[in-house]
Structure 1
């Protein structure tokens, strides 16, 4: 096990994950203690950064065998197959925020190496049906753009010894009105369910330029 750990970590200095607010500390604690974590909040609060940071730590310490990254693809209401280009070219623009955070933790070369070895897998939601992910750390980013069917499908892919983090901004969605509200409904109905954690981040947790929290506050988020 120690030998495998050395192989995964390689010769690089990983960026340590440190909470910057009390709610971020609660977010980290909830992920560690829960099988499924739902986190919602405005932009810049660290929803993706924290999830990616913990996922990388779990992978490097051999607590999981792989990281699964997914995000809804919304392109004029059509699926990924309608977009031009290779698979990587199609999905890359949607995963830039996640990959940027992962790059800050692992570095570009390590990410390429882990992807080549199957330790990091990018899997669009529409390709997850019928699969089960065991001993994995699963991240569903931008879940406010998921329908209830998509979120259910993601959660039913969670295998043995796996963790899942579902995050999003309930107040920002690109879905048509009749499909909105799935993330909020999941938060309401799953809060209190055993092994499921729910965390709310607010404008006070914004760790980007402070002008963002002022703008969101003035505009009512």
Structure 2
């Protein structure tokens, strides 16, 4: 990077084709970066001139350079990638932290897509899931707690680290009484499990997923179905754990068998248990916080990666609760 006048930075990109991809269709990527930083970006041949306040220029140029490096590595650049670069710290990380990822970027390979954390909390969470046999992911909706856990499970399955994936949820209604549900036992619980199906469909081809479910390599079941089982050589996820009772949580945690990993995800602000029934997630957090080998990972509204309004909604509710 060559610096001209005080509030201008000139970035030169040797590959003009990659520069076109960096700018995006109708320069939409540049427009996104301008809106986030308050700078103005002008294209001059194979150069980009960035104008604005000094701090804003620094942030914009770091993002532009990181995105160009991504294109050089043969990857695409989309809105989510721009969002990730703004959220993540750009300081180089000690090599020992990335040892398990071959000294490269923290990422999760699945059959259908490559999943990359988009916030620093998500990056720490991914590391935790690979490093610990029992991990908790606690925070508001939209922070990727379950999505990332399922992605890691699929990665471990296709690399042979585990033999099966087991995903479960408490079958608790979210503040509504749905009444009697018709159909078979599986059809009755399917509505509760839909978010887990959605995540799996993102990572595995449809036919392969159907075959895995038929062979019980991938299981999706209500929490109550875990009683009496010992889960060995499996990647096990308990989603919406705030709706498990204390006894259910204890039952689930003691299913952990040899060669298995467990992930418990939940949001303490969305407890749907009857009034007076304590949440098993809160009890587990209190009782297990100091146990070696168990990690607790926390997310906030800043880690929401859904629509930007979701983060604003969560923040508004948090402020109201604090007030």
Q: TM-score by structure 2 length?
A: 0.61
- Displaced runs of 4 or more, over 3 A: none
Task: Name the structure 1 match of 2:268.
Answer: 170
Among 115, 120, 125, which residue is 2:218 paired with? 120
Among 252, 273, 276, which residue is 1:154 paired with? 252
Superposed CA offset, 1:122-156 (max 9, x none): 23222211111100000000001110101111111
Superposed CA offset, 1:7-51 (max 9, x none): xxxxx9521121110000111111111111111100100011010
Give the 5 Å matches for 1:9-20: 13-20=111-118
Task: Name the structure 2 match of 1:199.
Answer: 297
Query: Matches of 1:136 and 1:200 in 2, distance apart?
Result: 24
Among 42, 48, 64, which residue is 2:140 paired with? 42
Distance 1:49 1:37, change over 3 A: same
Task: Name the structure 1 match of 2:160.
Answer: 62
SS of 1:220 mapped into structure 2: helix
1:217 to 2:321 alignment = no
Question: Of the two structures, which has the highest relative contact order with CA contacts closer than 8 Å and spacing of 6 or more?
Answer: 1
Task: Name the structure 2 match of 1:111.
Answer: 209
Query: Matches of 2:120 and 2:276 in 1, distance apart?
Result: 35
Does the 8 A contact of 2:153 with 2:165 survive in 1? yes
Q: TM-score by structure 1 length?
A: 0.88
> Which stretch of structure 1 is more off in the superposition, 15-24 or 121-130?
121-130
List gaps (5 residues or longer) in structure 2.
Answer: 1-109
Query: Matches of 1:133 and 1:65 in 2, distance apart?
Result: 11
Q: CA deviation at 1:100?
A: 0.4
1:33 to 2:124 alignment = no
SS of 1:123 mapped into structure 2: strand
Superposed CA offset, 1:48-101 (max 9, x none): 101000000000101000001110012599xxxx74311221121111111101
Aligned residues: 206
Query: Matches of 2:129 and 2:290 in 1, distance apart?
Result: 15
List gaps (5 residues or longer) in structure 1.
Answer: 1-11
Distance 1:76 1:39, change over 3 A: closer
